[in-house]
Amino acid sequence: MSGLRIAADRDRCIAAGMCALLAGAVFDQDDTDGRVLLLDPTPGTNHTAVREAVETCPSGALTVDES
């Protein structure tokens, strides 16, 4: 079975919020510092939005592993 595995590096995150905007089921932002919170590291659906969020992230904090 194929799937996506997402990783988020909170040290690189600059709290731009694009990920949460594009794929709110997978990414959220911390209420205190605005940095990314990974809600679902292995999203079963919505892959297009997740890939777009990873590509759009301005700091390169998000990575996606496809297996």
Shortest Cβ 6–ligand SF4 spacing (Å): 10
Non-local (6+) Cβ contacts of 36 within 8 A are 8, 10, 13, 15, 19, 20, 27, 28, 29, 30, 61, 62
Closer residue to ligand SF4 in complex, CB, 2/36: 36
Shortest Cβ 1–ligand SF4 spacing (Å): 26
Residue ranges binding ligand SF4 (CB under 6 A): 8, 13-19, 27, 29, 35-36, 57-59, 61-62
